[in-house]
C-alpha cells in the first residue's frame, strides 16, 4: 500500500496511534528531551564566571559558537568537568547524574566520541524517578552496543522493570529492547514479551509496546521469536476495545501471518468483523481515532493488509461481509470530501487504495474488480501527481485479471494522453507499463504505434525498457509478419542505440522460421539501408537477411546482386568489428547465391585492408572465405553455405532480458509474461536442442507442440535435475476449483514457496507458465520439478537448463505445454522438491487443466440452438443437476463465469431472459465434442438448475461437476 502524500509505503512505526517513545529515532528523542529536561524554551541568563552550567546553558553555548574550533574547545571543557564530577569522591545525586548523562548524549549526537559515563547511565535504570530512568534508557539505546561488558547489568535492569508491573517502567524497558533490537536482546527477552502481551492484567499501553517490541524482534531475529500457545491468544487482540492495542496487534499479526499463515488463519474472521465495524461507523463513533473525518485510517489499512496474506474466505457469510466492507469503502470514495485539507484526502485514499489492493489480490469478484478499475480511472486525470501514479500502478495489476481487463482497456486514450503530457518521468513510466499490460490483439497496433511515437522523445532512463516492450508486443500480437518486420525496423531507426542484441536476434530468428515473410523482409531492409545514415543494428539485420534471402529480390534491377553488395559494402567502413565480421559472412553467402558478383567480392577479400587487418577475427575470416571461394566447387560451396535452418523453440530472449531488467520480485507479477504465439523460436547453442522445427503458419501450430519432444518425455519430464521425483505425500487441491473459470493466479502458497500460473489455450493445445517464487531470504537447493499426467493428456515442459539453486526472494519460470488427446477427468500433477535449511521439502500440486479449458466458443441463433438441443435428446447425452447457490446471485458475475468457462454466451436465445444459455465445442486430438448448456436461476429460492447436453455422456457429467461448483 502506498502513502498518498508520497510514493513510499506508510511507515509502520509512524502509523501507531498514539505516538510513543519507541516510534521516534533516538536522535529525534534526544533533541526533544534536551528541551523537556530543561523545562524552558529560552536560554536563561547566566552570570559570568559561573562554575556549574546547566544543560540548557551548555546547549546555548554550543549554538552560539562561531567556529568549529570554538565548539570543540567548549565541548572538551565540558567533558573534563563531567569526568571530574564522575570521578569525585562525593557521590552524585540522581538529578546530577541525569543532567551529566544527558549532556554526554547531546555531545555524542553532535558527532563526538564518548568513552565514559556508561556506568552512570546504567545506574540510572535503578532509579524510581521516571525522568532519570528515561535518560538512562535513552543513553543505552543510543550509545551502548551489543558487545559491551555492561549488557548483563542492562539486561538485569530491564528484567526488573518488566517484572515491576509498573506500566511506565515496563513501557520504558520495552522501548529500549525495541530500539536496540539486537540479537542479544532477542535471546534475553523474546520468550518473556509474548506472555506480557497476552496476559489478562496487562495495561493497554503496555500491550501496545509489547506488540511493537515483539514485531521489532521478529524482524531482526525471526528465528528467536518462539511460536507457541500465545500465538492463538494474540489473534484475539483484534477484538480488544482499545484501538491502539488493535492497531499494534494488527502490525504484529500481519508479519507473523506472512511467516506462518496456518497459525493465524483465525485472524481472518476477526479482521473482517473489526473492519466492518470501522467502515460502517460514523467518524464521531471513533472520535479519538478519527483522522480528519476518516475513522481509524491506519487500522483500516493494517486490517486490509492482513487480509491480503490469505485467499478469499471460504465461509459464504464471511465472504459476503468482506464484500460489503469493500463496497462501502468504494462508495465512500464517491462521496463529496468532508474537508478540503490534504490530510483528509490522503487518509481517505490510503484506505481506498489498500482496499483495491485486496480486491486485486483476491481476484474473485468481477463486480468489485470492475468498480475498482472505474474508481482508478477517475484518478488518472486527478490534479495530484501521486494519485495519478498510484492509479496507473494499480491498473497495471488489474489489467492481468480476466475479469477487469476489458474495463482497463476503456481508459486507453487517457493513458496515451498521460504518456504524452505528463511532466513526471515516473508517471510516464507507469503509463508505459499500463499500456504494455492492457495490450491485446484488438489494440496492439494502436498501442505499439503510440509507444513508437513517444519513443522518439522518451526519457533516456526508460528507452531501453520501452524498446523491449515494443519488441515483445509486436511479436506476440503480430497479425501478419509484415507488420512485425516493419515495426522492428522502425524501432531500430528510432532508438537504435537502445535496441539490444536480443531484439535484432529475435527478428532474424522469426524471419528465418517463416517462409512467407522472407521476401518482404529482404525488400524492406534493402530499402531501409538506402537511407544516408543507418544505425549499425540495421546494418546487422540487413547483412544477415540479405545474405540469406537476397536472392528473393534479385530479379528486380533496382535490387540486383551487385546493387545489394555495393549497398552493404558502403556501410562497411562505418561499422564496428563484430558488424564487419557479419558483413564478411554475408559476402561469402553472396558468392553462393550470386556467382556473377564472385570476382567483385574476391577483390574486396584480397585487399590489404582485409588480409592484413589488425583485428585477427576479420583477418582470419577474410583469408578463409577467400580460399573457400577459390578452391571449393559449386556443390561444396552450396552445401557449406546453405540457408540457415529454422531455430528450435526456446523462451523469447527479449522477454528474458526484460524480466532480468525488472529484477526478481514477489509473485504474482505475471502480467509481464509475454510469449510468442506466432511460432517463432530462439536460437539455442545447447547440444541437447538439436531437433529441427518444421516451419509453419503462425495460426496452425500455435504452441509449437508439433515439434519433436525429447525421448521419453510424453508422460514424465524431469526438467531441472537428474534426481528422480519422489512420490508426493499429499496433492494440494486448495485453489484448484478457483481456476475453472480463470487462467491466471496463485495456485499454491505456503510460508516458503509461492507458485503462480498464467495459461493460454487454443483448440486442443495449451501452454502454462509456472512461476516459482522463493518467499524466504534463504536459498533453495537441489530444486527440481516434474509433471505427471494421464494417457489422455500429453505434457511437455519446455525449459532451458537452470541453476538448481533459487536465491531468496528470487523467481523461477518454467513452461508446460499441454496437448489433449481425448476427454479426461484427472488433471496433471506438478511435483516439486528442494532443500530448505537442510530439510528436503516435497510438494505436489494439481495443475488446473480441466476439460473445459479446450472449449472453443460457438455462436448460434435461437433456431439453431434448439434444433441442436433436440438432436442431443438421448437420455445418456443429458446431465442435469439442481443445487443451492453458494455465492450471491449476481447476473454480471454469472455472465463472467460462463464466459470464463469457455463457452459462448448466447443472448436472447432462451425465451426466459433470466436464464443463461451457452454453446461451445471441446477440441481433442482424436475428436470434437459439441456442448450446449442452460443455467436457470431461481432467486427467490436461491437455487440453480444446470442442464448440459453433449454428444458424449462422460463429457456431460464432467462439465456439469466443474460448472456447478462455481455458483
Q: Which residues are annotated as a binding site?
A: 53-54, 85, 95, 99-103
Residue 819, beta-bridge partner list: 765, 794
* Residues in contact with 921: Cβ distance below 8 Å, sequence separation at least 6, in sequence order: 855, 856, 858, 928, 929, 930, 931
Cα(402)–Cα(671) distance, integer angstroms: 11
Cα(296)–Cα(305) distance, integer angstroms: 14
C-alpha cell at 620: 582470419
The bridge status of strand 855-857 relative to strand 839-846 is unpaired
Number of neighbours of residue 721 by Cβ within 10 angstroms: 17
Q: Alpha carbon of 803 to those of 274, 665, 783, 800, 960: distances in Å?
A: 46, 18, 8, 10, 43
Rounded to 5°, the CA angle 223-781-801 comes to: 150
Q: Give φ, ψ of 903 to 5 degrees.
A: -90, 165
Closest CA to 470 of 442, 501, 493, 447: 447
Cα(304)–Cα(302) distance, integer angstroms: 5
Closest CA to 559 of 599, 593, 510, 532: 593
Unique residue bearing C-alpha cell 556443390: 635
CA atoms lying within 13 Å on the CB side of residue 948: 26
* Residues in contact with 533: Cβ distance below 8 Å, sequence separation at least 6, in sequence order: none
CA atoms lying within 13 Å on the CB side of residue 648: 16
3-state secondary structure of 83: helix
Q: What is Dmax (Cα atoms) for the chain?
A: 114
Unique residue bearing C-alpha cell 516458503: 752
Whether the Cβ atoms of residue 164 and residue 202 lie closer than 8 Å to each other: no
Whether the Cβ atoms of residue 92 and residue 85 lie closer than 8 Å to each other: yes
Cα(362)–Cα(355) distance, integer angstroms: 11
Whether the Cβ atoms of residue 115 and residue 102 lie closer than 8 Å to each other: no
For the chain, state the CA radius of gyration.
Answer: 35
Residue 784, beta-bridge partner list: 833
Q: Alpha carbon of 662 to those of 75, 175, 665, 671, 843: distances in Å?
A: 50, 39, 8, 12, 28
Q: Give φ, ψ of 553 to 5 degrees.
A: -120, 5
Whether the Cβ atoms of residue 102 and residue 37 lie closer than 8 Å to each other: yes
Amino acid at each position: 500500500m502506498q502513502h498518498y502524500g508520497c510514493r513510499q509505503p506508510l511507515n509502520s512505526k509512524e502509523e501507531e496511534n498514539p505516538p510513543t517513545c519507541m516510534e521516534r529515532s533516538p536522535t529525534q528523542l534526544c533533541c526533544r528531551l534536551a528541551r523537556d529536561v530543561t523545562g524552558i524554551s529560552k536560554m536563561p541568563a547566566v552570570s559570568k564566571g559561573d562554575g556549574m552550567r546547566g544543560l540548557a546553558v551548555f546547549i546555548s553555548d554550543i549554538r552560539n559558537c562561531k567556529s568549529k574550533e570554538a565548539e570543540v574547545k567548549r565541548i572538551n571543557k565540558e567533558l573534563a568537568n563531567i569526568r571530574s564530577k564522575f570521578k569525585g569522591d562525593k557521590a552524585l545525586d540522581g538529578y546530577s547524574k541525569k543532567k551529566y548523562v544527558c549532556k554526554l548524549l547531546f555531545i555524542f549526537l553532535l558527532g563526538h566520541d564518548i568513552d565514559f559515563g556508561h556506568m552512570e547511565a546504567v545506574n540510572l535504570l535503578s532509579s524510581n524517578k521516571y525522568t532519570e530512568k528515561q535518560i538512562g534508557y535513552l543513553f543505552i539505546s543510543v550509545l551502548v552496543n551489543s558487545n559491551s561488558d555492561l549488557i548483563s547489568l542492562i539486561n538485569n535492569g530491564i528484567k526488573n522493570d518488566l517484572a515491576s508491573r509498573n506500566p511506565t517502567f515496563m513501557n520504558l524497558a520495552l522501548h529500549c529492547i525495541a530500539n536496540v533490537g539486537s540479537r542479544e536482546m532477542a535471546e534475553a527477552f523474546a520468550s518473556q514479551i509474548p506472555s506480557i502481551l497476552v496476559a489478562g492484567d496487562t495495561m493497554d499501553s503496555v500491550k501496545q509496546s509489547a506488540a511493537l517490541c515483539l514485531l521489532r524482534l521478529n524482524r531482526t531475529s525471526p528465528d528467536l521469536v518462539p511460536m507457541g500457545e500465545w500465538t492463538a491468544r494474540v489473534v484475539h487482540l483484534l477484538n480488544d476495545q482499545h484501538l491502539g492495542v488493535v492497531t499494534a496487534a494488527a502490525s504484529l499479526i500481519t508479519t507473523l501471518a506472512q511467516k506462518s499463515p496456518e497459525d493465524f488463519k483465525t485472524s481472518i474472521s476477526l479482521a473482517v468483523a473489526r473492519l466492518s465495524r470501522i467502515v460502517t461507523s460514523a467518524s464521531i463513533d471513533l472520535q479519538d481515532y478519527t483522522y480528519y473525518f476518516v475513522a481509524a485510517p491506519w487500522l483500516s489499512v493494517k486490517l486490509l493488509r492482513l487480509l491480503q496474506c490469505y485467499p478469499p474466505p471460504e465461509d459464504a457469510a464471511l465472504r459476503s461481509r468482506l464484500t460489503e466492507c469493500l463496497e462501502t469503502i468504494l462508495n465512500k470514495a464517491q462521496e463529496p470530501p468532508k474537508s478540503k485539507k490534504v490530510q483528509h484526502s490522503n487518509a481517505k485514499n490510503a484506505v481506498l487504495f489498500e482496499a483495491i489492493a485486496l480486491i486485486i489480490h483476491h481476484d474473485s469478484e468481477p463486480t468489485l474488480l470492475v468498480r475498482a478499475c472505474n474508481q482508478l480511472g477517475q484518478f488518472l486525470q486527478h490534479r495530484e501527481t501521486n494519485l495519478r501514479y498510484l492509479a496507473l500502478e494499480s491498473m497495471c495489476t488489474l489489467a492481468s485479471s480476466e475479469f477487469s481487463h476489458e474495463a482497463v482497456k476503456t481508459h486507453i486514450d487517457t493513458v496515451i494522453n498521460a504518456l504524452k503530457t505528463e511532466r513526471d518521468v515516473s508517471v510516464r513510466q507507469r503509463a508505459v507499463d499500463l499500456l504494455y499490460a492492457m495490450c491485446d490483439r484488438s489494440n496492439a497496433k494502436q498501442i505499439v504505434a503510440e509507444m513508437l511515437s513517444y519513443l522518439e522523445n522518451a526519457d533516456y532512463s526508460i528507452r531501453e525498457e520501452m524498446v523491449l516492450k515494443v519488441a515483445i508486443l509486436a511479436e506476440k500480437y503480430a497479425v501478419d509478419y509484415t507488420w512485425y518486420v516493419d515495426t522492428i525496423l522502425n524501432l531500430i531507426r528510432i532508438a537504435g542505440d537502445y535496441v539490444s542484441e536480443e531484439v535484432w536476434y529475435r527478428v532474424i530468428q522469426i524471419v528465418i522460421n517463416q517462409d512467407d515473410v522472407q521476401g518482404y523482409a529482404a525488400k524492406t531492409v534493402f530499402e531501409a539501408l538506402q537511407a544516408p545514415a543507418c544505425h549499425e543494428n540495421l546494418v546487422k539485420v540487413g547483412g544477415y537477411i540479405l545474405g540469406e534471402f537476397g536472392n528473393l529480390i534479385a530479379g528486380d534491377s533496382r535490387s540486383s546482386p551487385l546493387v545489394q553488395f555495393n549497398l552493404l559494402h558502403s556501410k562497411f567502413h562505418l561499422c564496428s568489428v563484430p558488424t564487419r565480421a557479419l558483413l564478411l559472412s554475408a559476402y561469402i553467402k553472396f558468392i553462393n547465391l550470386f556467382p556473377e558478383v564472385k570476382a567483385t567480392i574476391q577483390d574486396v577479400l584480397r585487399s590489404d585492408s582485409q588480409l592484413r587487418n589488425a583485428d585477427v577475427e576479420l583477418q582470419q575470416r577474410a583469408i578463409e572465405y577467400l580460399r573457400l571461394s577459390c578452391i571449393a566447387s559449386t556443390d561444396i560451396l552450396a552445401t557449406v553455405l546453405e540457408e540457415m535452418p529454422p531455430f528450435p523453440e526456446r523462451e523469447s530472449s527479449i522477454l528474458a532480458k526484460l524480466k532480468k531488467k525488472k529484477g526478481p520480485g514477489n509473485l504474482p507479477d505475471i502480467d509481464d509474461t509475454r510469449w510468442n504465439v506466432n511460432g517463432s523460436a530462439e536460437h539455442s547453442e545447447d547440444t541437447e536442442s538439436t531437433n529441427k522445427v518444421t516451419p509453419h503458419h503462425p495460426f496452425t501450430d500455435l504452441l509449437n507442440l508439433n515439434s519433436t519432444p525429447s525421448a521419453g518425455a510424453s508422460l514424465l519430464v524431469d526438467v531441472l535435475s537428474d534426481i528422480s521425483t519422489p512420490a508426493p505425500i499429499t496433492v494440494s487441491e486448495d485453489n484448484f476449483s478457483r481456476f475453472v473459470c480463470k487462467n491466471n493466479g496463485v495456485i499454491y502458497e505456503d510460508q516458503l514457496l509461492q507458485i503462480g500460473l498464467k495459461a493460454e489455450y487454443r483448440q486442443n493445445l495449451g501452454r502454462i507458465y509456472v512461476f516459482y517464487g522463493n518467499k524466504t531470504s534463504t536459498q533453495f537447493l537441489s530444486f527440481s520439478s516434474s509433471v505427471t499426467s494421464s494417457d489422455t493428456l500429453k505434457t511437455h515442459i519446455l525449459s532451458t537448463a537452470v541453476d538448481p539453486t533459487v536465491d531468496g526472494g528470487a523467481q523461477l519460470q518454467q513452461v508446460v505445454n499441454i496437448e489433449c488427446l481425448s476427454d479426461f477427468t484427472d488433471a496433471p500433477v506438478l511435483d516439486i522438491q528442494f532443500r530448505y535449511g537442510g530439510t528436503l521439502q516435497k510438494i505436489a500440486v494439481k495443475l488446473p487443466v480441466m476439460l473445459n479449458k479446450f472449449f472453443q466458443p460457438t455462436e448460434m441463433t435461437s433456431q439453431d440452438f434448439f434444433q441442436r438441443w433436440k438432436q442431443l435428446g438421448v437420455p445418456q447425452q443429458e446431465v442435469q443437476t439442481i443445487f443451492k447457490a453458494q455465492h450471491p446471485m449476481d447476473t454480471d458475475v454469472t455472465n463472467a463465469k460462463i464466459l470464463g468457462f469457455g463457452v459462448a454466451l448466447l443472448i436472447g436465445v432462451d425465451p426466459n431472459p433470466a436464464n443463461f444459455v451457452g454453446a461451445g465445442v471441446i477440441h481433442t486430438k482424436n475428436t470434437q465434442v459439441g456442448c450446449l448448456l442452460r443455467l436457470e436461476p431461481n432467486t427467490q429460492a436461491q437455487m440453480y438448475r444446470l442442464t448440459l447436453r453433449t454428444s458424449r455422456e462422460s463429457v456431460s457429467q464432467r462439465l456439469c461437476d466443474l460448472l456447478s461448483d462455481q455458483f
